[in-house]
Structure 1
């Protein structure tokens, strides 16, 4: 009996201790400061267009935000493709961990959604007690935002999708491209010009700004902000714009805002692809067939892209003005970013595809922390870094391995915070709408190495001498030591992320070590 009483007392003490611990944890949870956060996200937005970066488009509202933010001027996406880059943003993990390494719901896509086991920032914020709002493009599967618990959802195309839907197939686009090619052949024979606009590349929309999908998102965003301002819960919101994704279609005055004849084409415009992977010659979507495009077409398309950027700046100004009006701006953390860049004729490429040129790999990124002095950070950072950064700011529950690192030390201290860290960024292009490539790219401030395991040609660019990446130096003996150094750096990154391609990488990289050995023997 005495032993039984002792056991009962021990069990009771343990239960009381557990209960006290749970109460203590609950109180600590209540006392945690949870910051309000707003993500402003844009589709296929290049890093080099804003006026604050010396670009050709006056962007006063974005510039004003930049003046209040920490600007990451060398930010890199993980994949130049919508769904994988967005999955990396919300989870902080590479596609080989989440299973999301291709576009979803499009022509030839293998995948239909990001697994619900990956709750990401949305599910984590909801679990932490946030009021969660989402406006705009998701592109990670049907009902994905609602299924992760968002309180306010608007203008999300996938909200009408189901798992039974067939992927978007571009028959209409293909027919238009055939017409453009036929027209080119006809005009070569002296016939009259009857195409004023190529709508798969640029188009003047009827109506005004208020008639556009961009403004529809602004209206929904304003409603979300007004609701959030009345909430007692902390606020986490995402406004995800489809612009400036190609084709570049805008109403007046944006369609005529930039005179094509006064614009310039870049140094690598239609640059011949010498010693480049064969896949760069392929048209993965019908509009990737650009043989019909003239310089006049390219300049018009660029003018419409700039017009789209000017329209976006207006939308940003209206959203931020609403945040000020409802009283949540002063302490609001704001993340401004693009999911990846886009090609406007550089290397003869349009839109995006399985390659790693800077015009696609780099993305705009700035983070406004109202308690931190604005600054410019030059170190390379990754899309993967945003989730762990916001998890710290919002005191979110842990959800497993993070392939990125928190940017908060850089936000607070600038480049000095990472003096001992290698200044590198890793990029991957596993699939493109059902086609496998397995590309890995490693970038330093001076060099870029691109491993193309499905081709016999890899790429090495000297960014200090050739920033537009025309000359592939991978076979140049003068760059052999630099190449092997980049191989070593990439191996470290693949090992750190437990990349399943590591074994294949090591096997193929023996080729370069053997080359160096033979070259050294010849020199002796």
Structure 2
């Protein structure tokens, strides 16, 4: 990385002689300064890809927009699994859940898992072993004391998991009775349904999210004063449902005027039976009125406005500490969330874009900002971070480095097909085994626990309302998607491949 003085001098000279894009496109392999980069990961929970103003969304997000303007925007980034623990494990390990064992949530009702195997050291341990100062703030959701056990020297402000390994799981008894009360006409404070939307008492400074901001600022200050390169993660529960925010965010968006998508409350016709399941108490949405759905969406948008404030305060802290200019930043959401699309709320065993897609910004201060349309995976973030920090491998690497795309955009000759692989193995102890493959044109979803698969024409039906799995007009396209799925499962050594080969006979 350049020093501040050197960087300022270079920028001044560049402004006179050449365009900034020429110097900013210098390949990673030609950096003259051998100093290891400082890396900050900003992680948010159940954050959709489509609400930011830089994407033309309904929420004004000036701080995130400013970061996007300095970053590579990956506008078609995909998670591995629409569930918190597996998607986070994918980021830290760079491997699919069938390899790490982390294919379900941990520490929640009916799950069989308590933690990510401590042998899976992942990015935290690899960075620590490489001489990095490692810090973590906020939600982890991969088992008690997991960051500490992996070498995090700064370990502040934890999420909802216990600090005791193998503690008894959280069981949502109160949520069951609360949702039952909604059917009986019982409402919570202010006439709200707090399992879906809630106005918090107090102000932004009274929220749990703000406490994580303070802890994040403290961590950045500690890292700035240390001579070692640092790898820091600041992870937030926001904007995970239920959507709970204080004023002014609670009333920032008018429920009556929020724009609803074409698949809002769409009836699920010829869809897998699991989509009708109540896998968490608040999935029971039969009591939700049109007004309730609009309020839930408006409160989610308020939560996103608050997220933008969070990002702005953390980036300002990095600037105040004098570490921003050379800072490598990843901002991502572990998966999306349903706001009434297909009459669904939160997340569950399905592969709709609202859940499968995630926001992803990656800032490398030595590269010019770009927008990449190619599909990429959360697993690719891991490979990229490992390249940045020169980390020694610790096992299979299922993703691909994003550096070629960051240097050359969609024209990068990296040999990768424009597709994404997705899985939904378990949800809190219930098995589904779902595998999906997505291209820009089509999506095939294999549901081995059901006798009904899914096929969507994304160009003509972006809301994924019409399941075309039996439509003979798409026979050739469907067969091609099945072959792509089989190829990807073989590439990542997925043990479900043999079963898919048997099921695929009907499509080939």
TM range (shorter): over 0.9
Q: Which residue number in structure 2 is paired with residue 521 of structure 1?
A: none
In the alignment, which of 136, 148, 151 is matched to residue 150 of structure 2?
148
SS, match of residue 256 in structure 2: helix
Q: Counterparts in 2 of 1:147-296, with a 5 A limit?
A: 147-157=149-159, 160-183=162-185, 196-296=191-291
Q: For the residues of structure 1 that align with 2:65 and 2:34, how far apart are their CA atoms?
A: 33
In the alignment, which of 473, 478, 496 is matched to residue 478 of structure 1?
473
In the alignment, which of 362, 369, 391 is matched to residue 386 of structure 2?
391
Q: Which residue number in structure 2 is paired with residue 377 of structure 1?
A: 372
Q: Residues 454 and 469 of structure 2 are in contact (CA less than 8 Å); yes or no, is this contact kept in structure 1?
A: yes
Residue 294 of structure 1 and its aligned partner are, at CA, apart by 0.5
Q: After superposition, give the CA deviation of every residue in 1:299-358 in whole Å (9 maximum; x if it has no partner).
A: 001110000000110111000001000010000000000000000000010000000000
How has the CA–CA distance of structure 1 residues 195 and 211 changed in structure 2, closer, same or farther, with 3 Å as cutoff? closer
Q: Counterparts in 2 of 1:27-426, with a 5 A limit?
A: 33-157=35-159, 160-183=162-185, 196-418=191-413, 420-426=415-421
Moved more, 175-184 or 462-471: 175-184
Q: For the residues of structure 2 that align with 1:161 and 1:269, how far apart are their CA atoms?
A: 40
Q: For the residues of structure 2 that align with 1:163 and 1:49, how far apart are their CA atoms?
A: 37
Q: Residues 72 and 371 of structure 2 are in contact (CA less than 8 Å); yes or no, is this contact kept in structure 1?
A: yes
How has the CA–CA distance of structure 1 residues 124 and 32 changed in structure 2, closer, same or farther, with 3 Å as cutoff? farther
Q: Which residue number in structure 2 is paired with residue 468 of structure 1?
A: 463
Residue 195 of structure 1 and its aligned partner are, at CA, apart by 6.8
Q: Residues 144 and 164 of structure 2 are in contact (CA less than 8 Å); yes or no, is this contact kept in structure 1?
A: yes
SS, match of residue 185 in structure 2: helix
SS, match of residue 432 in structure 2: strand
Q: For the residues of structure 2 that align with 1:412 and 1:353, how far apart are their CA atoms?
A: 36
Please report the TM-score for the alignment, with normalisation by the length of structure 1: 0.89
Q: After superposition, give the CA deviation of every residue in 1:191-236 in whole Å (9 maximum; x if it has no partner).
A: x999710000000000000000111011001100111011000010
Q: Residues 126 and 392 of structure 2 are in contact (CA less than 8 Å); yes or no, is this contact kept in structure 1?
A: yes
Q: Residues 72 and 378 of structure 1 are in contact (CA less than 8 Å); yes or no, is this contact kept in structure 2?
A: yes
Residue 160 of structure 1 and its aligned partner are, at CA, apart by 3.8
Q: After superposition, give the CA deviation of every residue in 1:80-119 in whole Å (9 maximum; x if it has no partner).
A: 0000000000010000110100000001111000011110
Q: Which residue number in structure 2 is paired with residue 458 of structure 1?
A: 453
Unaligned runs of 5+ in 1: 1-30, 185-191, 514-524
SS, match of residue 134 in structure 1: strand
Q: For the residues of structure 1 that align with 2:185 and 2:50, how far apart are their CA atoms?
A: 33
Q: Residues 144 and 166 of structure 2 are in contact (CA less than 8 Å); yes or no, is this contact kept in structure 1?
A: no
Residue 374 of structure 1 and its aligned partner are, at CA, apart by 0.1
SS, match of residue 261 in structure 1: coil
SS, match of residue 461 in structure 1: strand
SS, match of residue 464 in structure 2: coil
Residue 163 of structure 1 and its aligned partner are, at CA, apart by 3.0
Q: After superposition, give the CA deviation of every residue in 1:259-285 in whole Å (9 maximum; x if it has no partner).
A: 111112211011111110000000001
Q: Which residue number in structure 2 is paired with residue 516 of structure 1?
A: none
How has the CA–CA distance of structure 1 residues 159 and 356 changed in structure 2, closer, same or farther, with 3 Å as cutoff? closer
Q: After superposition, give the CA deviation of every residue in 1:142-165 in whole Å (9 maximum; x if it has no partner).
A: 100000010111111367432341
Q: After superposition, give the CA deviation of every residue in 1:41-70 in whole Å (9 maximum; x if it has no partner).
A: 000000000000000000000000000000
Q: Residues 78 and 358 of structure 2 are in contact (CA less than 8 Å); yes or no, is this contact kept in structure 1?
A: yes
Q: For the residues of structure 2 that align with 1:411 and 1:220, how far apart are their CA atoms?
A: 31
Unaligned runs of 5+ in 2: 1-32
Q: For the residues of structure 2 that align with 1:129 and 1:113, how far apart are their CA atoms?
A: 26
Q: For the residues of structure 2 that align with 1:52 and 1:264, how far apart are their CA atoms?
A: 17
How has the CA–CA distance of structure 1 residues 204 and 193 changed in structure 2, closer, same or farther, with 3 Å as cutoff? closer
Q: Residues 159 and 237 of structure 2 are in contact (CA less than 8 Å); yes or no, is this contact kept in structure 1?
A: no
Residue 367 of structure 1 and its aligned partner are, at CA, apart by 0.2
Q: For the residues of structure 2 that align with 1:178 and 1:445, how far apart are their CA atoms?
A: 41
Residue 370 of structure 1 and its aligned partner are, at CA, apart by 0.2
In the alignment, which of 427, 433, 438 is matched to residue 438 of structure 1?
433
Q: For the residues of structure 1 that align with 2:101 and 2:75, how far apart are their CA atoms?
A: 29
Q: For the residues of structure 2 that align with 1:381 and 1:219, how far apart are their CA atoms?
A: 32
Q: Residues 449 and 460 of structure 1 are in contact (CA less than 8 Å); yes or no, is this contact kept in structure 2?
A: yes
